[in-house]
A and B are shown apart, each in its own frame.
Chain A
């Protein structure tokens, strides 16, 4: 088979990183990215993109840890290179604080991040409403820079990117040999996955450049994540809400909660409000499927449903998806060589 043609649907962090992994593992492939939204209008652009994993109940812990470790290692190397500022990857230290004792003293990722340890009494004094805490150093992927950097890497390898709303994966069967579905929350409509649901998150992006450490409440609802130019203040987890409109009452609530963790935020300037719909699922859908219509087959690799933890595992799932794509191509090539007999 001459240069297998692979279409990646979706241009958020999952689509772009998956496209890049496919290019890396299959240099002979011709990869095209199709999406109705590109940075800065993807769900990924709203996310603070901190490398702190969320547990997916449907995926074995050792797999989640493997994905996280691969992602962390990959980004750690970039953060240490001359490309760090362009890629938007930087180290950040801070605290995760708990009002009540955390379920696990040592989360599965504690030995992947840097310097993980319990907070000292002196450190906890800064958070009078919280009784326990964990201190560590992790990585953050600022978006749009990270997505734009991925796009630049892709273009440099000859990958084409088109704005196109794909209504049905089958529509691509004539032009492409394999389709990779990284449509995120779009998969709900695109493939009719009823198990995929939005968890609405509203965040504020503010100018507060003196905030150098992250602070996260262990309940996952209140967090302060300093990025390169802006600090992301969050947030909400509204299961089942499809609304992309910012809610002013929520804005005030987020701001107040964050100010109670970090009072100096009262002086924050240039507050902008963003909303994203976390593409949530019991577990990431990372699997092959073969679509068939009238004797014609279209292999599909699904890679969506990363919920709140997309950035933390993106590289790991992208690599797995690229392996699945390679399997699809091998199967097609086996089939086509059999067909020649």
Chain B
């Protein structure tokens, strides 16, 4: 059985690993391959700061809430292990700031030590009258994607540097199941009007005295369209741009100015920070994640696609829950083809 995972961002690599971990032992003839035209450090995932945090108001999507929790708990389990540093995984505390009181988020009991901000803490952030403090996780893809790649390579998964133009092209080569983790460019393989870019731009700076993430929220301008500051292990990310429908991956001078002024307004000491680099990327935004099976007819055969894309600005946050859900769908495919035996319980 040949499985091709298309896409090598956090979604593609983690889904490939999850499927291989769950089924290769049962089915040694399972052959998993990864196809992508961009690998780390050139994927969308690489540009993300890496903070585990879902959007602050979900649309009551229970599946997604569960996948977020599964991802957090899974990562937390790695914290005390030697792998954590190699994965780019560590704890981080910080602030979410609002201009008016808001209901607690669905993830308040997932993160650690969630509480409201005290009046004295709010003094640090003039203009914001309400907020949260909690401890969450950082998962830096510049480390995590290579870590996933190593795990996959050790398992014998092969990587191909190639742009796949169609599902048919892959099926014609004898692949049985395609896992579609193409993120922003899923529309090129199959039109999807619900998938839209949420263009982001960031400035990476050296500001090692910043130890907390600070995320501001503006209900009018929308999620991540308000300044945020996220300190990583090597640099601090300044951001606050989320432009729906903008496909440009070029850095905009105007956006840079907006980010810089707004973030320095939040933390005046940033004026002294050394600027390292700018980056723009496209959040693969969708009303909900597309995680489902599709049977594709090619010739007189039928082939299976498992779609796993549209994770917007919360791909890292939700990735492992989605990988497991995709693996479960894969399990049903095996079951139907009577190759995998009875469905295995989720590990």
Contact = CB atoms under 8 A, between A and B. Distances in A.
Q: Do A and B bind each other?
A: yes
A73 B212 CA distance: 20
Interface stretch (B39-47, B89-97, B329-337): B89-97
Contacts of B117: 115
Residues of B contacting A: mostly: mixed
B209 A264 contact: no
B311 to A, nearest CB: 24
B1 interface: no
Given A93-B211, A210-B90, A264-B90, A115 B82 contact: no
A175 B91 CA distance: 55
Interface in A75-130: 80-86, 88, 90-94, 114-115, 117, 119-120, 122-123, 126
Pick from A80, A92, A212 the residue with the most CB of B within 10 Å.
A212
B341 interface: no
Contact of A90 (B92, B112, B211): B211
A212 B91 contact: yes
Interface string B57-98: 000000000000000000000011110110010111100000
Contact of B209 (A80, A90, A137): A90
Interface residues of B, number: 37
B210 interface: yes
B124 A123 contact: no
Nearest to A226: B211
Contact of A92 (B124, B211, B271): B211
B257 interface: no
Contact of B113 (A91, A92, A135, A263): A135
B342 interface: no
Interface string B104-123: 00000000110101101101
Contacts of B156: none
Contact of A210 (B82, B207, B210, B233): B233
B268 A115 contact: no
A229 B208 CA distance: 7
A85 B209 contact: yes
B125 to A, nearest CB: 9
What DSSP secondary structure best describes chain A's contact surface? mixed
Given A115-B121, A213-B91, A263 B81 contact: yes
A115 B85 CA distance: 29
A142 interface: yes
B234 A209 contact: yes
A266 interface: yes
A82 B269 contact: yes
B92 A212 contact: yes
Interface residues of A, number: 36
Interface string B131-153: 00101001000000000000000
A83 B269 contact: yes
B233 A84 contact: no
A117 B133 CA distance: 12
Nearest to A214: B211
A85 B112 contact: no
B121 to A, nearest CB: 5
Contact of A126 (B79, B115, B233): B79
B269 A91 contact: no
A201 B95 CA distance: 34
A195 B38 CA distance: 69
Interface string B264-287: 000011011100000000000000
B210 to A, nearest CB: 7
A84 B50 CA distance: 26
Given A122-B112, A126-B80, A82 B271 contact: yes
Interface of B: 79-82, 84-85, 88, 90-93, 112-113, 115, 117-118, 120-121, 123-124, 133, 135, 138, 207-212, 231, 233-234, 268-269, 271-273
23 contacts: A82-B271, A85-B209, A85-B273, A91-B211, A94-B93, A115-B115, A117-B115, A122-B113, A123-B135, A137-B133, A142-B209, A210-B85, A211-B90, A212-B93, A212-B231, A213-B91, A229-B208, A263-B79, A264-B79, A264-B84, A264-B85, A264-B90, A267-B85
Given A82-B271, A120-B112, A209-B208, 19 more contacts: A80-B268, A88-B209, A90-B211, A91-B211, A92-B211, A114-B118, A115-B117, A117-B115, A122-B112, A122-B113, A126-B79, A137-B133, A210-B138, A210-B233, A212-B231, A213-B135, A228-B209, A264-B85, A267-B85
